[in-house]
Amino acid sequence: MDDKNTSLAGTELRLCRVDAVEDGEGLRVDIEGRAPLAVFRLDEAFFVTDDTCSHGEASLSEGTVENGYVECPWHTGRFCLKTGEALTFPAVTPIRAYKAVVRDGEVFIDTQETPS
Ligand code: FES
């Protein structure tokens, strides 16, 4: 894990600045030693999930974000941004969702917290 992405406590992972994500969009975040993550911003709330779709290899950060879900850009499977639940076929396997913490203009996840 890259030290520049960890907090002093060592359990929080800094993903990006708040202003790096447009409202209604996603941002892929690559951190050494981890599967890529996606940060989504919707109505000024932030959500963090795995970036790779559980149906294929699509990057969910390139999907469509609305009404609390992201729609995969490849086959339009939908996932709940809050829980990672697969909502529509062909997405049937959930992705991991993480609690996003916004502090000092940056988005973090707590790596000790069990993903939902
Ligand atoms: S790769 Fe995402 S629904 Fe198929």
Domain ranges of the chain: 3-110
Q: Which atom of ligand 1 is nearest to the CA of 53?
A: 2
Mapping DSSP to helix (H, G, I), strand (E, B) and coil, where does residue 95 land?
A: coil
Whole-model pTM? 0.90
Question: What CATH superfamily is the domain 3-110?
Answer: Rieske [2Fe-2S] iron-sulphur domain (2.102.10.10)
Atom of ligand 1 nearest to the CA of 73: 2
The residue whose two tokens read 């990057």 is 59
Query: Residue holding tokens 């729609």?
Result: 71
Helix, strand or coil for residue 77? Answer: coil
pLDDT tens for each residue of 56-95 = 999 999 999 999 999 999 999 999 999 999 999 999 999 9
- Measured in Å, residue 9 CA sits from the centre of ligand 1 at 36
Q: Is residue 77 within 6 Å of ligand 1 at its C-beta? A: yes
Q: Which residue has the tokens 């939902």?
A: 116
Rounded CA Rg of the chain: 13
